[in-house]
Amino acid sequence: MGLNPESRARFNLQRATVLILDSNAMGMSILVQILTGFGAKSLHRCESVAEAEAVVQKNEIDLMVVDSLGPDGEGYEFVRWLRRSKIQPNCFAPVLLTSGHTPSRAVNKARDCGAHFILAKPLTPISVLERILWISKEGRRFVECDTYVGPDRRFKNEGVPAGMAGRRRDDLPIEVGEATMPNLDQELIDGMMKTRKVTI
């Protein structure tokens, strides 16, 4: 996803309450500058998981930006705790997870703990903004099961994997049924192609 630099669209976090969890003073400072640049005024700055858990229990949060918190990955555990906490509406809040290292292992860990997205450091305002906008528009459903709680991990609607039955109510059946309507007439198709304007 890329933002058009010519765009005049306005974006403002003035009414949002944001939690930032980062034990690094420089990382915290950068995030505060980026988010206040987007208009955020209500920021909860947490340097530890314990502080973040206390904030979540006492305040309604609209967005969380959580660092992975080093090699021990306490940030991942915080997100996992949050999703299973049943503290509503915070347990459903959008979570951007940040990390200095984002190998596929870390991306999978962020996805599996219940984060909406992982961002690689160093952060830039445009990358943070793009992800916030993406989360606000995507509308992924929340999944709750024994092994996972969080936004649906499927980004693409490509259907059920080949050879497997669907697990969700809205999954289409594997077998394609008989046609319920007649096929379109070729003249109608040709007419549709002529009226369609193609820009390159």
What's the pTM?
0.74
Peptide bond just before 151 cis, omega within 30 deg: no
Q: What is the CATH number of the domain that holds 141?
A: 3.40.50.2300
Assigned domain for 106 exists: yes
**Average pLDDT of the residues of the chain:** 84
Contacts of 38 (CB under 8 A, 6+ apart): 11, 12, 13, 125, 128, 129, 132
Does residue 152 register a pLDDT over 80?
Answer: yes
Query: Do 101 and 121 meet the contact criterion of CB atoms below 8 Å apart?
Result: no
Assigned domain for 56 exists: yes
- pLDDT at position 39 is 93
Assigned domain for 105 exists: yes
φ, ψ for residue 55, nearest 5 deg: -65, -45
Does residue 68 register a pLDDT over 50?
Answer: yes
Assigned domain for 143 exists: yes
Element (H, E) at 64: strand 63-67
Q: Residues 114-138: what's their mean pLDDT? A: 90
Would you place residue 72 in the very low, low, confident or very high pLDDT band (cuts 50, 70, 90)? confident
CA-to-CA distance for 72 and 173, rounded, in angstroms? 42
The number of domains in the chain is: 1
Assigned domain for 193 exists: no
Assigned domain for 35 exists: yes
Would you place residue 70 in the very low, low, confident or very high pLDDT band (cuts 50, 70, 90)? confident
Does residue 168 register a pLDDT over 70?
Answer: no
- pLDDT at position 200 is 43
- pLDDT at position 167 is 65
Instruction: Supply the range of the domain harboring residue 130.
Output: 17-151
The distance of Cα 111 from the centroid of its chain, to the nearest Å, equals 9
Assigned domain for 166 exists: no
Assigned domain for 61 exists: yes
C-alpha dist (Å) from residue 1 to 37, 65, 130? 21, 19, 7
